[in-house]
Amino acid sequence: MANDLLKGKRGIIFGALDENSIAWKTAERVHEEGGTFVLTNAPIAMRMGKIKELAEKTGSEIIPADATSEEDLNELVTKATEVLGGKLDFVLHSIGMSVNVRKGRHYTDENYDFTTKGWDVSALSFHKVLQTLYKNDAMNEWGSIVALTYMAAQRTFPDYNDMADNKAYLESVARSFGYFFGKDKKVRVNTISQSPTPTTAGQGVKGFDGFISYAEKMSPLGNATAQECADYTISLFSDLTRKVTMQNLFHDGGFSNMGVSQEVMEAFSK
């Protein structure tokens, strides 16, 4: 399916853990389309995952970085531009984590230290990444920065917990920073609001299977897979979407515009 859409383009991909992750599939697609990149993840995630496999497969270097650390991010951006031989054209932020969810704390019973940690990792880290790129003037004109989000930022999914607030914040950062990045450096910043996807991160949410089958029955085109999300991300990294910025783009088979579907109606009219 390769069309050399990203030939000669360079970037950084955050958050590839294993072959189920959207960042992993995006990295493979970028490679197929002729792009080169540096892979990065938090040191702890790197021990858990299989990022070395992906690096070998795509001929990429790994630079560990904690996305909540300004020092790590500065080092990452400096090294990445050295390794890749110039400024960057694309960046994928695929990072999210809630300690409250992990520890089974209900939304009405948050541990605020957990909340702060999750917010820093899932949302503020995006501002930190953008600010580091901006201050280092690390992006080429018409570059593209994408973060992954979920519709719980707009609508209530009871078990999504404080991740919903984190995603709302993340999307706001994309709009606010997108203005300055566009105005000053002609760089676009967007978020992709993806269908529920069975990644390692996604499966941490309670009742996830019910979530997925409900969304499948609600969406006229069915749920978007991780692979399809990778394809969509590629289109946003390419020159074909140069004037798309500050958007939250729903990639969800139509779910976001549905009130009720025939299948869901039938399930309740028996």
Q: Is 207 annotated as a binding residue?
A: no
Q: Is 22 annotated as a binding residue?
A: yes
Q: Is 167 annotated as a binding residue?
A: yes
Cα–Cα distance, 105 to 101 (Å, whole number): 6
To which H or E segment does residue 215 belong?
helix 208-218
Decide: 139 and 87 in contact? Cβ < 8 Å.
Answer: yes
Q: b/e map of 106-118 (b: 16 or more CB within 10 Å)?
A: ebeebeeebbebb
Cα–Cα distance, 65 to 77 (Å, whole number): 10
Cα–Cα distance, 147 to 134 (Å, whole number): 16
Active site residues: 150, 160
Q: How many CA atoms lie within 13 A of 56 on its CB side?
A: 4
Q: Is 212 annotated as a binding residue?
A: no
Decide: 163 and 120 in contact? Cβ < 8 Å.
Answer: no
Q: Is 202 annotated as a binding residue?
A: no
If you search the block for the tokens 């529920």, which residue do you land on? 196
If you search the block for the tokens 């949302």, which residue do you land on? 123
According to the 3-state scheme, what is the secondary structure of 194-250? ECCCCCCCHHHCCCHHHHHHHHHHHCCCCCCCHHHHHHHHHHHHCHHHCCCCCCEEE
**Residues comprising the binding site for NAD(+)?**
15, 21-22, 95, 167
**Residues comprising the binding site?**
15, 21-22, 95, 167
